[in-house]
Amino acid sequence: MLTDTVIEDPRWDAAGLDRLSERAAVAALAHLGLDPAGFEIAVLGCDDARIAELNGTFRGKPQPTNVLSWPAEELFAEADGGAPARPEPGGPHGPAELGDIAIAYDTCLREAEIGGKPLADHVTHLVVHGTLHLLGYDHERDGDATLMETTEAAILAELGVEDPYAPRDGA
């Protein structure tokens, strides 16, 4: 398995975070031509209080957010909009660690309800988003944001999930 899911908030069990995370992360790597068997990602299913603590500790922003990621290595592209470096897969001693993702149930549920989308679709999007961060994708610069959003939308389309960046009726 690509993902190793740790559940701190039991509501994630009912939401199927382990299954959603595996499906989303596998799709992201496969879309980019990476063999999921060569990698491992740790996924933490937590609540808003825990993610606010993590956000404060690691980003200096002690408030809840939907998803956080910690890449195992810096793969970011030097040029705005350029493709990130490709990670090396693990070998005979096991898969290479891509990094960690934390996702907050309360914020995800609230965002899904506000957006009028199924929780599973929103969680799938956020795990794809976090996985792309682990792979060096970012959205700080305009070209990088365009590349990341386009890549996310393509992966989500392969999974049958609506493009989260497409304009919505009435918006």
Q: Is 93 annotated as a binding residue?
A: no
Phi, psi of 115 (to 5 degrees): -80, -5
- Between strands 39-46 and 3-7, the pairing is parallel
What is the percent of the chain with per-residue pLDDT over 70, rounded to a whole number? 98
- Mean pLDDT, rounded, for 136-161: 96
CA 60 centroid distance within chain? 20
CA dihedral for 96, 98, 104, 105, sign (positive or negative) = negative
pLDDT band at 131 (very low <50, low <70, confident <90, very high): very high
Q: Is 139 annotated as a binding residue?
A: yes
pLDDT value at residue 170: 54
Whole-model pTM: value is: 0.95
Q: Is the pLDDT of residue 169 over 80?
A: no
pLDDT value at residue 93: 87
pLDDT value at residue 166: 86
Q: Is 122 annotated as a binding residue?
A: no
- Mean pLDDT, rounded, for 131-150: 96
Separation CA 134–CA 100 (nearest Å): 8
pLDDT value at residue 91: 85
Q: Is the pLDDT of residue 46 over 60?
A: yes
Read off the pLDDT of residues 18-34 as tens digits, 9 standing for 90 and up: 999 999 999 999 999 99
Q: Residues 155, 27: contact at Cβ < 8 Å?
A: yes
Q: Is the pLDDT of residue 92 over 90?
A: no
Residue with tokens 């990094």: 99
Q: Which domains does the chain have, with CATH numbers?
A: 3-158 (3.40.390.30)
pLDDT value at residue 1: 87
pLDDT value at residue 53: 97
Residue with tokens 């989260």: 164
pLDDT value at residue 168: 73
Tokens coding 86: 């490709």
Separation CA 115–CA 82 (nearest Å): 30
Residue with tokens 């596998």: 26
The enclosing H or E element of 126 equals helix 119-134
The enclosing H or E element of 103 equals strand 96-104
